[in-house]
Amino acid sequence: MIRIGIIGGSGYTGGELMRLLLVHPQADIICITSRQKDGEPISNTHPHLRGFTDLEFENIDPGEVAKQCDVVFTAVPHGTAMDIVPRLLDHKVKVIDLSADYRLPVDVFEQVYNLAHKAPKKAVYGLPELHPEVADSTLVANPGCYPTGAILSAAPLASQGMIEQVVFDSKSGVSGAGAQPTGVSHYPNMSQNVQAYKLTTHRHGAELQSELGQLDSSIKISFTPHVIPSVRGILTTAHLFIKEDLDIDQITRIYQTFYKDKPFIRLLSGIPSLGAVRGSNFCDIGFEIDASSRRLVVVSAIDNLVKGASGQAIQNMNLMFDLNETAGLMTPALFP
């Protein structure tokens, strides 16, 4: 059994790690930290976990966590992880960081997050479909929720240098904004609404640029996020303008080849929707082509808390510990 620590377990990604790891066949959660909830039962915060664990939140030092564990998930805000991750690595424990601190080149990170990086480390961007080298890594930077679905929608064509320009228009469930009540998450504001925000300036744009830019440095990327009245899920509509006339069969073949043997990518002949991935680690992808304008619209659907966060983190853990990539993750979505 892999001994697991979770630093910062009181938010949605912490809760989701537990939901999945408590029934993972090779995982044993050893400790879960929270400064604010020290001493409280986990199920006070995560009511769905009642009966699954007797653990309480602890307020202990990262070094203490590391000593007891084989791997530690850090589910803390950006800017905080860089204080914790190096101390974990010092103890030779493997680390999967769900914050933004290790996802970008240091100079890009510092500019985008307007923050000096205190402790740069070599990390692998934990999108396993593009980065099988997570298997050999000790520090994985787990991707942002929006970039996961957006990159996966465009990567096959980007890898072929086929994309002139892409506009990602993403729609996220409210859980992406976290467990703390805010004006945006206030039911009367969000119900019956759709809220566009950071129309041209969302930080996840930098991840898109970084990752897709590695596949094709000339690609032009735009990204606009929205919050929709759904708890979970991100649907990304990728408006792709391509360089050559390609028919639907050619495009299908490019996607099929790129995602061959990727267990969590499902290519559909229709258009994905959130219900089919809710609660699961799948990324569903479908597309239509407008032949007359070299325009392709690709739609991807993920659960932002699973493939967009905690599920993907566990997928990375599986690879880092040479388990089956799908261990503990091959469960159907909750539909309807």
> Catalytic amino acids?
145
**Within positions 229 to 248, which residues make up the interface with its own copies, using CB under 8 A?**
229-233, 235, 237, 239
Q: In angstroms, what is the minimal distance from the CB of 330 to its own copies?
A: 7
Q: Which stretch binds its own copies (CB under 8 A): 74-82, 114-122, 177-185, 247-255?
A: 177-185
Q: In angstroms, what is the minimal distance from the CB of 116 to its own copies?
A: 23
Read off the DSSP letter of residue 275: G
- Using rule CB under 8 A, residue 1 touches its own copies: no
State the pairing for strand pair 265-267/139-141: unpaired
Q: Which stretch binds its own copies (CB under 8 A): 41-49, 57-65, 76-84, 105-113?
A: 41-49
Exactly one of 3, 26, 41, 52 binds its own copies (CB under 8 A); that residue is: 52
CB nearer to its own copies: pick between 180 and 217: 180
For residues 302 and 16, give the distance between their C-alpha atoms in angstroms, rounded to a whole number: 15
Cβ atoms 117, 82 nearer than 8 A:
yes
CB nearer to its own copies: pick between 138 and 189: 189
For residues 128 and 12, give the distance between their C-alpha atoms in angstroms, rounded to a whole number: 22
Please choose, from the candidates 325, 203, 281, the residue with its C-alpha nearest in 3D space to the C-alpha of residue 16. Answer: 281
**Within positions 189 to 208, which residues make up the interface with its own copies, using CB under 8 A?**
189-197, 199-201
**Within positions 209 to 228, which residues make up the interface with its own copies, using CB under 8 A?**
220, 222, 224, 226, 228
From residue 46, give the alpha-carbon distance in Å to each of 10, 11, 16: 8, 9, 9
- Using rule CB under 8 A, residue 146 touches its own copies: no
The first and second tokens of residue 290, run together, are 């407008």
Exactly one of 186, 244, 248, 256 binds its own copies (CB under 8 A); that residue is: 186
Q: In angstroms, what is the minimal distance from the CB of 90 to its own copies?
A: 33
CB nearer to its own copies: pick between 55 and 88: 55
For residues 28 and 23, give the distance between their C-alpha atoms in angstroms, rounded to a whole number: 9
From residue 209, give the alpha-carbon distance in Å to each of 193, 213, 216, 254, 314: 29, 5, 10, 21, 25
- Using rule CB under 8 A, residue 108 touches its own copies: no
CB nearer to its own copies: pick between 117 and 226: 226
- Using rule CB under 8 A, residue 138 touches its own copies: no
Please choose, from the candidates 195, 197, 278, 277, the residue with its C-alpha nearest in 3D space to the C-alpha of residue 231. Answer: 278
Q: In angstroms, what is the minimal distance from the CB of 249 to its own copies?
A: 17
For residues 150 and 306, give the distance between their C-alpha atoms in angstroms, rounded to a whole number: 15
- Using rule CB under 8 A, residue 61 touches its own copies: no
Q: In angstroms, what is the minimal distance from the CB of 202 to its own copies?
A: 11
- Using rule CB under 8 A, residue 103 touches its own copies: no
Contacts of 63 (CB under 8 A, 6+ apart): 87, 88, 90, 91
Q: Report the chain's terminal Cα–Cα distance, integer Å.
A: 34
CB nearer to its own copies: pick between 132 and 178: 178
For residues 63 and 42, give the distance between their C-alpha atoms in angstroms, rounded to a whole number: 22
**Within positions 268 to 327, which residues make up the interface with its own copies, using CB under 8 A?**
268, 271, 273-280, 282, 284, 287-290, 293, 295, 297, 299
